[in-house]
Structure formats: C-alpha cells, structure tokens
Amino acid sequence: MTTAAPPINNTQFSANVTTVSQEQSLYQSSGAIVAAIVVGVIIIFTVVLLILKTYNRRMRVKRELEPKPTKPAMPPAFGQNSTSMAPHPTVTFIPVDIHVQNR
C-alpha cells in the first residue's frame, strides 16, 4: 500500500525561509555592532594609554633636567650658639627573649 504525500504549500515554505534569513541577518548585524563597539573601546583605551605614557615620559625628563634644590642648612641645636651640627641622639631597640618556663 502506498500513501500519498500531502501537498507542500510553497508559499508558506518560502515565507519561513525569508523569516529565518531576516532573523539571521539581525543576529549577524547585532554581532557586528557589538564587535564594532568592542573594537572602538580598545582603540580608545590604546590612545589614552599612549597619551599617558608620553606625558609620563615628558614629566620624567623634565624632572631629571631640572636643577635639584639644595638642602637648607640645619639650625643650631637648642641652647647652643655654635655653628657645628650636633648629631641627633638615636634610640636603639634591643629585643629581649621573654620566655619564662614554669616547672
């Protein structure tokens, strides 16, 4: 026994193909838009990075070429009228081992 195949509606089939291709084109165009935005952001970050590097290099060269200010002379110690500088007292910390064993 053979069964007859139902007739295919060509207008409905071609409409579905057109709809699918429009959806695909929308997905592709949205993907292209996202890719363009990402590329634009990368280009902007690259330009900002190059500007900052150039600025940093110029400022470093400017700092290196400037004459360095001399240190001002220290005033005499309190209570002394001499011009010799007295060394500042230093505090030295010596750690003590505080391990007490109770037996």
Q: Each residue of 38-96: pLDDT tens digit?
A: 999 999 999 999 999 999 999 999 888 888 777 666 655 555 555 555 566 777 766 66
What is the distance between the alpha carbons of residues 64 and 87, in angstroms, rounded to a whole number? 32
Closest to 56 in 3D by CA, of 48, 67, 44: 48
Q: How many helices (H) and strands (E) does the chain have?
A: 1, 0
pLDDT at position 85, please?
58
pTM of the model: 0.43
79: left (phi over 0), alpha (psi -120 to 50) or beta: left
Cβ 71 vs Cβ 60: under 8 Å? no
pLDDT at position 67, please?
82
- Mean pLDDT of all residues in 22-45: 91
HSE-CB for 42 with a 13 A CA cutoff: 6
Residue 97, pLDDT > 90, answer: no
